[in-house]
Every structure is written in C-alpha cells, then in structure tokens.
Amino acid sequence: MSRERLGRRSEIVKGKVLRRVRSEWVATPSEGPARSSPGGAPHLVEPLTWWSPPRLPWGSMVQVHGGPGPCRLLWSLLLPCVYLSLVLSLLLGVLVLGIRAWLQGRRGARGGPDGRPPTVAFFHPYCNGGGGGERVLWCALRALQNRYPGVAFAVYTGDQGVTGEQILEGARQRFNIVLPRPITFVFLRHRALVEAGSYPHFTLLGQSLGSVFLGWEALTSLVPDVYVDSMGYAFTLPLFRYLGACTVASYVHYPTVSTDMLSVVRDRNPRFNNADYISANPVLSAVKVLYYCLFALLYGLVGSCSHLVMVNSTWTLGHILALWRAPDRTSVVYPPCDVRSFLDLPLEEEEQEEEEEEGWEELGQEEGSVEVRGGGGDRKCHSIVSVGQFRPEKDHQLQIRAFQKLLDRKEGAGPGGRESLRLVLIGGCRNQDDEDRVLMLRGLCVELGVADRVEFKLNVPYEELQRELVSATIGLHTMWNEHFGIGVVECMAAGTIILAHRSGGPLLDIVVPYHGSQTGFLADSDDNYATAMETILALPAAERLEMRRNARLSVERFSDHEFESSFLSATEPLMARHQP
C-alpha cells in the first residue's frame, strides 16, 4: 500500500512497517515474512527524534512515548486531582484561619486583655435535668467558683421555657447545691439535633454530627477560654479547640461506642441497642460491625483533641484509653453521690429487732406458747427496691423475672414466704416512650402472676425515695455494663444489701471488699439473682447489719467532698494556663 492511499507517512523496510505517530517513528511488523540484516537480526530504522524507544520483541504491541499507555493515562488523571487537592487544602486552611481570627475577635470584644476575666464554659444541653450528670455539673461549678473567684463561668443549655434563675432553683431543690455567685446561661435553640428521636437509623452518627452543629451555635454565641464537655459530646471538642482556640476538657460518663457494643453485634446477641432483625441476619450484623468500627475510629480521633480527660469509673477508663489513646491526660474522677443524707441515719433497728426476737423466743420456750422460726429474716415483710429511670438499658424485665423465680421458691413457706416479699420499682419517666415501657412492665407482671407483689412508683419526691431505701432489705440493680452506678452507691449508703449486675462500675469500683469484708452481692442472670436474694433473706440479722456497715464505710469515697477535691486536682494544670 502506498503512502498516498494510507494518508500518512509510512515505509516498508525489510518486513517492517514504519508508522509515524506524532513526531516519532516506530517499527511494527508487516504482513509479509520478516527479513533479516546480514547479521541475522531484523533491521529497524531508528526514529527520527532524539529519543530512542526500547527495542521490543518481534510481534509485540509497542506503547509509544506520548501515547495512551496505562501509566501515562493514570498519571494524566491523577495529576489534576493532586493539584485540586492542594488548592482545596489551601483554601480550607485559609478559611479555618479566617474563622479562627473572627472568633478570637468576638472573644476580645468582651473586654480588654487585662480587664476581661477568663471564661470557663460547660456544654450541658440538658442542665435542667435531675440525673447524675447534672449533679456532676453543679458540683464542678461550685468547686471551681470557690477556688477561682476571678473567673467567669457559663453553661450552654438547650432547655427552653425556663430562666437561669429557675434552673439554679431546680438545682437547689434536687441536689441541695447553691452556687456562691451567678453564672451566665447561653440558651441554644437547636437541641433537637442531638436527640435520639431525630435519628431512627444510624443514631450514633446522627447525634454526633448534630452535636457539631449545636456546638457551632454555642461557639458563635460565646467564645470561652476554657471549654468543658460534661455530657459526652466529643465531636464538639475539635470545633472549640481548632476554631475557637480554646483549652478543652471533657468529663466522660459513658463512651459513645465501646468494644462491648462491638462484641454484642459481632456475637449477634439481641439487646436494646441491637434489634432482633439485625441480630438474626448475618449480613446486617456484619454491616453494623463495620459501621461501629468506622465510628469508633472517628470517635477516637475527636476525643484525642481534648487537653484533659476525666472519666467516672475504672470501666470507662479502660474503654477511653483504648479509643482516645491519651493516657497522660486521662484520670478517674468518681462522680459525686448524695451519701451524706443517708450516712447520718442509724443502722441499729435490725439489731434491736433481733435482740427482741431472741428475748421472745426464750420466753416462748419457757412457757411453751411461742413457735420458734428459723432464719434471721423471716419475721417481717422484706422489700426489694430498684432505683433507676425506666430506660431500656436498665433491664427491669430481668428484675421482674428474677423476683418471680424467688416467689416460686418461697411458695408455701409460711409467714416468711411469698406474702412477706414485695418488689418496689422506683424511677422517672422522661417521655411517652418511658411511660409505654412501664405499661409493658405492668403487663409482664400480670403475665408472670406477680402483679400483686410488685409496686411501681414514678417520679417520686426525694423524701419518699429516702424512706423506701431506708426501709428496704435489698437494693436491686440489673443494668449490664453500668458505667458507674450512682443508684448502687445510694442503696449502699441507705443501708440496703446491694445486689448489682456483675459488670461495669458495680463490679470494678463499687461492690468491692472493704478491708477484706463483703459489701454486697453480684449476679448476671435471673437464676443467679433469685439465688442471691434467697441467700440475703436467709442471713441472720446481725450478719446483714455487719455487711450494711461495711458498705456504708466503703461509699464515703464517693461523697461530694471527695469529688470536688479530685476534680480541682485534675483541672488545676488546665486552669493555670489562664491565671495571671
């Protein structure tokens, strides 16, 4: 074929076709037989440019410099992406620096560097609540105000329809805590962004991302010098540290995700946070494990931004160290528990009852008119009290099932049998879901035939709670992996024999021996709980009294005073950065 017909410059040289691609010549085999040079090797015409392509085996396809080779194509695609990434990173850096400078200007607008006192702000969107987290908040504020009179304090709250004065009055009524001087409240309008009901699926991720937007609202409303997350919204930490240029600290009540949660999903165990349709499906379980792993990675990254980390128990410490990896900045600060009001109550009544019982037994034996009963605990009605909000993780169903098994074992046991026992479930209902859960529990009592021996007390005043605990024989707790267990501490301080779940804070920190003496019982199944309750009820009154005394002495380390001392010690290096 001639060059004119092909429309390109080509030439046949000894069985080779020279084709010009762009400005270079490349040899490709012709359809005819190959011809060899006198030396026996195919004769190739060198390209007309300075670059000499490598000589390739006969019949192979040749990629030409400048042609569409895979490496060249890949590089041509990646190079614009690299340039674009660099440009976007530069723009993002400029944007962050601009926002940071703007926020610093807002902080400086509150006063001059010498005339403006440093500000410490707590992020607590539910500060008007009555739980243990709120007690931590108010005790921490009281301790800091007493130690640092020249520092201003603020609280970011999402509570609406109340004033700051009403919130402080609620803290006084619920916890008997009065702050030494006023504080500033920053009312946030978008608390719904962190509520679980807003995210029926991927709840952890939704709440965490929502906390970022709520944190931005808080940061733009007030730029503090020290930021303390006291409710576990770790995703707000990098926002305040890198954009607000704040010193950040966190008090962790419960890790948002933990290795225990991963094991539950991986083992396909149905629980309140692992629906039956997921645990029954291996594909969905695998997807959820992947989701938890990715979320745990993000949670660890944002948590590591904290300059200071305080955790409420040994159990929480282990998980936070595994996820946040900041051992040099992490310490255990046990939460404050209202033990003083219980510790002041006497514990002598039961001992006196036993002495009176022995006296009447001796008199009856002499006169032959009194029947002697065995067992130290069968002469009165025994109440078993559970204290905790009616949330799914509290596992009130386990309490009812265990109590039903105990009643079955006591059936036909006479005066010390079924009729001498009652289960009292005391707790608060936050919303309609909690009220529906109480209805379900009442139905379970009817189904198991124990409705006449179970009593529900909802949202009771503190005085009634105190009376029930003081008169109870057993304090019951069934939550798996309770991060700490303030209710467990209060039961022990009130003088009940505690029976708690063999996990979390109760196992590691609370129901532990005191100077080698037992302070309570632990269980992890309905059979174990029933057996433990039967054992407690069979103990002689003097032995129960000794255990109650040991339990009381052991929980003095969880008092308000101990918390304030530990909290101030942990935060002292942080506060020293902002002292003149």
Q: Look at residue 47 and tell me whether its pLDDT is greater than 70.
A: no
Indicate whether 497 pLDDT > 70.
yes
Residue 56 above 60 pLDDT? no
Q: Please give the DSSP secondary-structure letter assigned to residue 485.
A: -
Residue 476 pLDDT exceeds 70? yes
pLDDT at 300 over 60: yes
Write out the two tokens for 257. Answer: 């995700």
Contacts 24+ apart (CB under 8 A), 57-65: 58/29, 58/34, 59/29, 62/26, 62/27, 62/28, 64/21, 64/22, 64/24, 64/26, 65/24
Q: What letter represents residue 65's amino acid?
A: H
| CA dihedral over 391, 259, 227, 172, signed as positive or negative | positive
Q: Does residue 37 have a pLDDT over 80? A: no
The model's pTM is 0.75
Amino acid at 252: V
Closest Cα partner for 145 from 112, 127, 120? 120
Asked whether residue 304 carries a pLDDT value surpassing 90, the answer given is yes
- Work out the burial of residue 320: count CB atoms within 10 Å of its CB; fewer than 13 is exposed, 13-18 middle, 19 or more buried: buried
pLDDT digits (tens, 9 = 90+) for 21-36: 444 444 444 444 444 4
- pLDDT, tens digit (0-9, with 9 covering 90-100), for 131-163: 888 999 999 999 999 999 999 999 999 999 999
Reduce the DSSP state of residue 274 to 3 states and report it: strand
Look at 8-12, 322-326, 485-489, 546-550 and tell me which has the smallest mean pLDDT.
Answer: 8-12
Residue 311 scores a pLDDT above 70? yes
| C-alpha torsion sign, points 77, 78, 82, 88 | positive
Q: Which residue would you say has higher pLDDT here, 6 or 446?
A: 446
Strand duo 10-13 + 16-21: pairing: antiparallel
pLDDT of residue 375: 40
* Residue 416: predicted pLDDT: 63
At what angle are helices 259-266 and 314-324 packed, to 10 degrees?
Answer: 80
Does residue 365 have a pLDDT over 80?
no
Per the CB < 8 A criterion, the answer to whether 122 and 155 are in contact is yes
Query: pLDDT at residue 520 above 90?
Result: yes
- Rounded mean pLDDT of the chain? 82
pLDDT at position 98, please?
82
Gyration radius of the chain's alpha carbons: 36
CB of 515 closer than 8 Å to CB of 494: no
Give 424-448 pLDDT, tens digit per residue: 999 877 777 788 899 999 999 999 9
Position of tokens 């745990």?
A: 296
Q: Give me the mean pLDDT over the 208-227 stretch.
A: 95
Q: How many alpha carbons lie under 13 Å from residue 324 in its C-beta half-sphere?
A: 30
